[in-house]
Amino acid sequence: MDQLVSVQDFEEAALKNLTKNAADYYKSGATSEQSLAENKTAFSRLRIRPKCLVDVSKFDTSTTVLGTKVRSPFGISPTAMQRMAHYDGEVATARAAGVYGTVFILSTIATSSIEEVAEAAPDTIKWFQLYIYIDRNVTRNLVERAERSGFKAIVLTVDTPFFGLRRADVRNKFSLPPHLKLANFDGMLSNKICNAKSGSGLNEYVKNLFDDKLTWDDVKWLKSITRLPVVVKGILRGDDAKKAVDCGVSAIIVSNHGARQLDGVPATIEALPEIVEATKGSDVEVYMDGGITQGTDVFKAISLGAKMVFCGRAALWGLANGGQQGVEKVLGIIKTEFEFAMALSGCSNLSQVTPDMVVHQSRYCKL
């Protein structure tokens, strides 16, 4: 790993290490993958405007999310089936997040259970990502287990009445390797994805399981069955953000699901300012994920109003290159790059990373 000095280095190495089934699953986006590319390239259209001769000798990157202090404003997004990348899977990723004092979000369709992660990473700040199943008893059980296991928030994904079309998974007839299972379930719910007959096994799995009739009333229902703060993930419109505020959620994650749902949607960094504006005057915190590959991306997102930034694939690339140690190194790379971006921009704490620090490239003349 000594030769891997950027997230891109880790990605390139991971794609060589992983099986084609796993590599294509982790890296792919919806249909033509336009939005997948835009999630990254949209950051390159933003310019940082550094301030000079600012005292940055005392430095603080900490912030508070949902009342809990974190050491840096970036955490780990929920990504499914991490034991395809490394045998320790989500356990390793959660432990790495704990080392860096940040948030780890566990996916519903993880290959390590709620209880396994809680036992292995007791000191990590853990949130649980939730899909609402047609069988509400399944959903309620997941929420209750997360509460009992010390998770601090429920992250409801709201952009998945069903999963998007991912051509690589269709070509590969994606299935979870038979030695693995969806660890939060028993029986058919744990191994149905291992037996794809045609097309994507993931799409087959969610068919007739995920509730495609969800409305904002179901967000209120979720709030009624848990004492934990509810975060909604997958918002790209200001009017939806206002509905989320009206439902009493604690936070919003601006996300396009890693560009894996609907192609042609905006990059999340493009959608972020609209959501920040729509939530002004409320106590709802705004986070974002999508396309984060370096510390300057984190800086730009914080400048445009995100209180916290999450990355998913970057952690997977670390996981595939050494388990917990690999994830730690990826987080360390992003942390160092972010600290350099702050200091060289004349910011010694997050309150100084203000909207005037970043502008669109169109502000400058073309040379």
Q: How would residue 367 be classed by pLDDT, with cut points 50, 70 and 90? A: low
Mean pLDDT of 180-185: 93
Q: How would residue 188 be classed by pLDDT, with cut points 50, 70 and 90? A: confident
Query: What pLDDT was estimated at residue 212?
Result: 87
Structural domains of the chain ordered from first start: 7-358 (3.20.20.70)
Query: What pLDDT was estimated at residue 198?
Result: 58
For residues 228 and 68, what is the distance between their CA atoms, to the nearest angstrom?
A: 13
pLDDT for 361 beyond 90: yes
318 vs 211: which has the higher pLDDT: 318
Other residues' Cβ atoms within 10 Å of the Cβ of residue 323: 20
Query: What pLDDT was estimated at residue 304?
Result: 98
Query: What pLDDT was estimated at residue 129?
Result: 98
| Mean pLDDT, the chain, integer | 94
Q: How would residue 197 be classed by pLDDT, with cut points 50, 70 and 90? A: low
Q: Residues 41-96: pLDDT tens digits?
A: 999 999 999 999 999 999 899 999 999 999 999 999 999 999 999 999 999 999 99
CA 282, chain centre distance (Å): 23
**Whether 98 contacts 121, CB under 8 Å:** yes
Mean pLDDT of 218-228: 97
For residues 158 and 81, what is the distance between their CA atoms, to the nearest angstrom?
A: 20
Tell me the backbone φ, ψ of residue 223, rounded to 5 degrees. -60, -30
Q: How would residue 261 be classed by pLDDT, with cut points 50, 70 and 90? A: very high
Query: What pLDDT was estimated at residue 101?
Result: 98
**Please, which contacts does 185-193 make with residues 24 or more away whose CB atoms are closer than 8 Å?**
185/138, 189/138, 193/109
- Lowest model confidence (mean pLDDT) among 8-17, 103-112, 190-199, 203-212: 190-199
Query: What pLDDT was estimated at residue 319?
Result: 98
Q: How would residue 191 be classed by pLDDT, with cut points 50, 70 and 90? A: confident
Annotated catalytic residue within 86, 179, 257, 360: 257
Other residues' Cβ atoms within 10 Å of the Cβ of residue 279: 22
Going by their DSSP bridges, the two strands 230-235 and 251-254 should be labelled as parallel
Mean pLDDT of 112-118: 98
Q: How would residue 209 be classed by pLDDT, with cut points 50, 70 and 90? A: confident
pLDDT for 131 beyond 60: yes
> For a pLDDT cut of 70, what percent of the chain falls above it?
96
Q: Residues 322-339: pLDDT tens digits?
A: 999 999 999 999 999 999
Q: How would residue 8 be classed by pLDDT, with cut points 50, 70 and 90? A: very high
Query: What pLDDT was estimated at residue 294?
Result: 97
Query: What pLDDT was estimated at residue 201?
Result: 65
For residues 140 and 136, what is the distance between their CA atoms, to the nearest angstrom?
A: 6
257 classed as catalytic? yes
Q: How would residue 202 be classed by pLDDT, with cut points 50, 70 and 90? A: confident
Query: What pLDDT was estimated at residue 192?
Result: 67
Helix (H) or strand (E) holding 125, with range, is strand 125-130
Q: Is the dihedral of CA 293, 13, 105, 61 positive or negative?
A: negative
